[in-house]
A and B are shown apart, each in its own frame.
Chain A
Amino acid sequence: MKKWLIMVLALLAFAVLPTSGTELGELHPVSLLMVRSRGKQIQLYTDTLDRGEGETLDAALKNLEDTTPGHLFLDTVEYLILTERTKYLIPQLKQLLRPGAAVCIGEEELDMQALPEYLKTHAPQTSLRDADEKTPLQKLSNSEERFFLEK
């Protein structure tokens, strides 16, 4: 009787689980995410050169997911670049990304492919966990194909 009870409980426990995982080979991991806005559109750019846009962050994200070849994987985002106009999205982004992701303010146009290499050695000091709309963030500039993160 005890064994049956344990087996039934175990089956019930497994029944409430999400049973399908994601295959590793299908993942499309992102380490850098840039969030900017153009007019009423929120635009998302990744270091894998994928792009998504929409009127809200959720819509932009949905668009990014739909256009990415593979399964968009944002749990690996290490750096988040915002603009002054998208800083208000920090509370929403906190729900979406790892709390340890480093945040800074960037220019509208950045070389997304080359940027992670630079940020590896010049990482922003503020993490997403500690940031909110009012937190002063370091500024990242881009001139003559060179990056500069102000101290």
Chain B
Amino acid sequence: MAHFLIDSDIRALFGGAGDFTVRELSCCGFTLYAYAIDGLTSGGDTSEYVFKPLVEHLTGETIQILYDCALRGGVYNSVAQPCKDLNDVALKLVNGFCVVLFPGAGAIAFEVKTGEKRGPSAPEVENTVKGAKDGLVETIRTNTSLIRRHLRTPDLRLDEITVGRRSLTNVTVAWIQGITSPELVERMKKRLNSIDVEALITPGSVEEYVTGSRATAFPLLQYTERADTFCLGLLDGRVGLLVDGLPLGYLAPVDLEYLMESTEDLSRDYVTASCIRVLRYCALVFSLLLPGFYIALTTFHQQMIPLPLLRAMIESKKNVPFPSALEVLGLLIAFELLQETGIHLPQAVGQSVSTVGGIVVGTAAVEAGFISPAALIVVSVAGICGFVLPNRDMAEAVRVWRFGLGALGAFAGLFGVTMGLIALAVHLGGLTSLDIPYLAPFHTSEHNGIMRVRMKNNLFRKERLNPQDRRRQG
């Protein structure tokens, strides 16, 4: 308990770390100890809102009176919390509190977090022309404030859980009382509480641990860097997850429909948005199947290609030394390498490399007769279609399966591609996110999941999420 807290134990907590500061203060003849972590706390605020009131305004005959007085407003700070034990002291210190030890009486944590943090900026990946420009940042409290600004309802619940034995990462479960199914919230909290790991720092670790590390390339959590998208998800009756240190929010459950939606859809009229969604689904099919189909048709089922096209393709393939399968799979690998180059190089250089790689090297390879123009077109179209998908995780899963289907097409033609597609359908059919089936939008009686519903007709929330209040409007 607090009474057992002693100065030497607290000093030993951080093992003499360079950023751990201790200040001794004299107050009414008693010595108080103030601890803070430099960089996480503001020096000015500590002096003004902790030290000054402690030294100038606190009076009392015993240390216990001083402690009680400080806790009840003698030290005017917005947050003053008693520390229960040594772990609590450590937790408060790493969260930007200044802990003052009243020897023999207890310790109080005063909030003096530094103002040094990245402010909300426009989202880099999920850009919209007309939508809001406030993207989520690495600081969880900034993110919760952004969400509160979009959703001013007092029913918004933000439950905090600490995950990670060493990282002590603050995770906030966001949901709306009266809309979100309590079962979904419970499932999410249960999963978070069952995570017993050292650190929850990277997006990959969050996604894997929260979803139970299923053997799939498809995302089982939807991420967003947009505060408005996050809020729309909550209003749908989904559960949100904010992780301190990550500039994004997670939404669960997720299904194929959510992954194919873009925030931009809600910035357009429903006719245009629906047409673009249809195009997006076509892009998904092309991106997934085009290389596999091309390999299957050119290797096994040439009779399915119209004669003029076949003649043109044969003519262009005459001097190419590699079989179609090798050509396409090789180009797909080259395409992936170019993408990786673009990611790891600085933005300006990355763009140049992608342009040089894609256009110059591709054209030169065709002219030199290393690859046929048809194969280059097929891989480029599949790649571009992959970029149309709004969710990067989903696009990456499609990239993985594209290779598989290409290999099956090379091995067994359309039969192989069909087998691969059946395997994919079975795989997707078996996936669930917070126990909601991944393909639910396509087998329930609700709207088809592809078209954007007209706003005035969007009266009800999705039944599959089992919301407490199904009616949205009217």
Which A positions have Cβ atoms within 8 angstroms of B? 10, 13-14, 17, 19, 21-25, 27, 29, 31, 73, 75-76, 78, 98
Contact = CB atoms under 8 A, between A and B. Distances in A.
Contacts of B302: 22, 24, 27, 29, 73, 75-76
Given A14-B412, A19-B412, A75-B303, A29 B419 contact: no
A73 B313 CA distance: 14
9 contacts: A10-B419, A14-B416, A21-B413, A23-B324, A24-B298, A24-B302, A24-B324, A29-B310, A78-B307
Contact of B307 (A22, A24, A76): A76
When A and B form their complex, which 5 residue pairs have the shortest distance between CB atoms, in order from nearest?
A75-B303, A21-B299, A25-B317, A21-B300, A24-B298
A35 B324 CA distance: 33
Contacts of A19: 411-412
Chain B contact residues (Cβ within 8 angstroms of A): what range? 20 to 34
Contacts of B314: 24-25, 27, 29
Contacts of A75: 302-303
Nearest to B422: A10
A26 to B, nearest CB: 9
* Chain A residues touching B, majority SS: mixed
A13, A19, A21, A75: which has the most chain B beta carbons within 10 Å? A21
A98 B303 contact: yes
A76 B303 contact: yes
Nearest to B412: A17
B344 interface: no
B428 to A, nearest CB: 15
A29 B324 contact: no
A22 B303 contact: no
Contact of B411 (A14, A24, A76): A14
Interface string B277-300: 000000000000000000000111
A29 B307 contact: yes
Interface string B242-275: 0000000000000000000000000000000000
A73 B415 CA distance: 21
Nearest to B315: A25
B419 A13 contact: yes
A19 B413 CA distance: 9
B323 interface: yes
Contacts of A21: 299-300, 413
Contacts of B324: 23-24
B303 A23 contact: no
Contact of A76 (B310, B323, B413): B310
A93 B314 CA distance: 25
A151 B324 CA distance: 44
Nearest to B297: A24
A66 to B, nearest CB: 20
Interface in B404-430: 411-413, 415-416, 419, 423
A76 B313 CA distance: 14
B25 interface: no
A76 B303 CA distance: 6
A125 B169 CA distance: 77
Contacts of B298: 24
A29 B299 contact: no
Given A10-B419, A31-B307, A78-B307, 18 more contacts: A14-B416, A17-B412, A17-B413, A19-B412, A21-B299, A21-B413, A22-B302, A23-B317, A23-B323, A24-B302, A24-B313, A24-B314, A24-B317, A25-B314, A25-B318, A73-B303, A75-B302, A98-B303
B453 interface: no
Contacts of A24: 298-299, 302, 313-314, 317, 324
A121 to B, nearest CB: 15
B158 interface: no
Nearest to B413: A21
B149 to A, nearest CB: 48
A13 B318 CA distance: 33
Given A14-B411, A31-B307, A78-B307, A22 B299 contact: yes
B300 A29 contact: no
Nearest to A23: B323
B412 A29 contact: no
A10 to B, nearest CB: 7
Nearest to B323: A23
